[in-house]
Amino acid sequence: MTLKFAFTSAGDPKSSIMQRILDGTLAVRSPEELKEVLDIYPEDPFLHRKYADLLQQAKRADEAAAAYNEAAKLFILNGMNLQAVVAKILQWRIQNTNHDQGRAFHRLLRKEGHTQTPLQHFWANMTYPELVAVMRRMVRMQLPASRTITRADEPAENLFFVVFGTLYEMPSPECVSEAKLAGLEIEPALLGPNDIFGDIFPLNKNTVNDAEIRTATDVELIRITKPVLIELCQKYPGIEKILSEIRKPENRENCDRPWQTVRRAMRFGLPTKTEITCPAADSSQKHWHHSGIALDLSLGGMCVDLADAPLPSIKKGLKGRPVKIKLDLLNDVAVLNLTGKVVWEKRQKKAEGPFTLIGIRFDTLNAMDRDMLNEYCSGSVGEQNLLWGLWDMMVKPD
């Protein structure tokens, strides 16, 4: 079967710098490197989680625990209850917790955790004993790309929750055969964070996997075995009730997924043409000017892909230098002229040649610039899709 999903490459302007850091295509080897990015995006829970992982690898346990705690709070506020639970588990593995701390986390999850979707409801509306019981029995897995997790018609033994990464759910052989007879082509489903898979229901019967699941990128999963889930549901019937709200077995008649698929939305901002000017502060520095693509815009700053900026002209580095910024928001009228400071820079090689990335923290914005930038960054998915089309036609470099 031919897969038709296209993943953006690290050199594509649509590939966010933050996304490159998170998926490993942009190497960040130390907590200090990532901390510079966090200075621009202090409220991004994904970056805090990555920062905590790096601190843990560096054996800086207390700092890692604090970073996991911050990530958990931010995940809750962003409606990612599952990711918050996993971050809290990683924190508690470092620092022994007590029931007071556990109940405090449970209260925060119930008070602030989103409940618009059944999966959000599952994590936010469990009782404290139910949540603790599930958290104690969750097995965390990290797998590379191109790994088969389940095969069709093999015994179904696990329920999986996707924490990070992307997977393919291949249609069952029966659905593929029926579709071919009808002259139709069924493509794989693309699974991502907060999706569920595993054909373990009904719990009181032996079941087999209906589909093959394969990793498309590096992934992090949470696994609960069928025997463990049976035990949990017998002791806490509310867990099975909430799961039944997510699962739609009747969808199998139409070859649809039995589990609700999370609706995707753009997480990262639009690529935006920008011009960066770095005046010479004294005779030891040279005036520097270059255009680039701002991939991640926020009210605090941005990351910029300078592509093949001539490296000899910036061999002394830009980090720490003040800059003037011109942002073209896809409209001749909507042009922002801002100032800021380069807080990090990174040069990396790829097959097509070297490229340069810099992070800029904005100086304090005036009210008009702040409102214009906020409106541009927070447009609806439909509006952003329209702007993507305009960018492809009118702005994207050849």
Q: pLDDT per residue over 200-257, tens digit each?
A: 888 889 999 888 999 988 899 999 999 999 999 999 998 988 888 778 776 566 667 7
Report the SS3 class of residue 385: helix
Mean pLDDT across 66-91: 95
Token pair 């990396």 in the structure block, residue: 348
Q: Structural domains in the chain?
A: 17-135 (1.25.40), 139-254 (2.60.120.10), 272-395 (2.40.10.220)
Please state, in angstroms and rounded to a whole number, the distance separating the CA atoms of residues 389 and 285.
40
How much is the mean pLDDT over the chain?
81
Longest dimension (CA), the chain: 79
Provide the 3-class DSSP secondary structure of residue 398: coil
pLDDT band at 353; cut points 50, 70, 90: low
What's the token pair of residue 380? 């609806």
The region of weakest confidence among 18-27, 42-51, 286-295, 312-321 is 312-321
Q: Per residue in 356-366, pLDDT tens?
A: 888 898 988 88
Determine the residue type at 228: V
Distance of CA 256 to the CA centre of its chain: 25
pTM over 0.75: yes
Calpha distance 22→155 (Å, rounded): 33
Residue 384 confidence (pLDDT) above 70? no
From 141, 197, 143, select the one nearest 169 (Cα to Cα). Answer: 197
**Res. 264: pLDDT tops 60:** no
Lowest mean pLDDT: which of 214-228, 294-308, 371-385?
371-385
Q: Which helix (H) or strand (E) holds 100?
A: helix 99-112
State the burial class of residue 180 (Cβ atoms within 10 Å of its Cβ: 0-12, 13-18, 19+): exposed
Answer whether 345's CB lies under 8 Å from 36's CB. Answer: no
Residue 5 is predicted with a pLDDT of: 38
Mean pLDDT for the stretch of residues 63-72: 96
296 neighbors 269 (Cβ within 8 angstroms) = yes
Q: 372: pLDDT confidence band, cut at 50, 70 and 90?
A: confident
Q: What does the pLDDT read at residue 109?
A: 93
Indicate whether 287 pLDDT > 70.
Answer: yes
Distance CA 32, CA 27 (A): 13
Rounded Cα gap, residues 303 and 37, in angstroms: 8
| Residue 163, number of CB atoms within 10 A of its CB | 21
Q: What is the rounded average pLDDT of the residues 287-312?
A: 79
User: Alpha-carbon distance 233 to 158, whole Å?
Assistant: 14
Of 282-286, 297-301, 384-388, least confident by mean pLDDT is 384-388
Is 390 a residue whose pLDDT tops 80? no
| CA nearest to 304, candidates 289, 288, 293 | 293
> Residue 350 in 3-state DSSP?
strand
The 10s digit of each residue's pLDDT in 146-174 is: 899 999 889 999 999 999 888 888 877 77
pLDDT class of 267 with cuts at 50, 70, 90 = very low
Q: Which has the higher per-residue pLDDT, 86 or 121?
A: 86
pLDDT tens by residue, 315-324: 567 788 899 9
Whether residue 2 is predicted with pLDDT greater than 60 in this model: the reply is: no
Residue 1 binned pLDDT confidence (cut-offs 50, 70, 90): very low
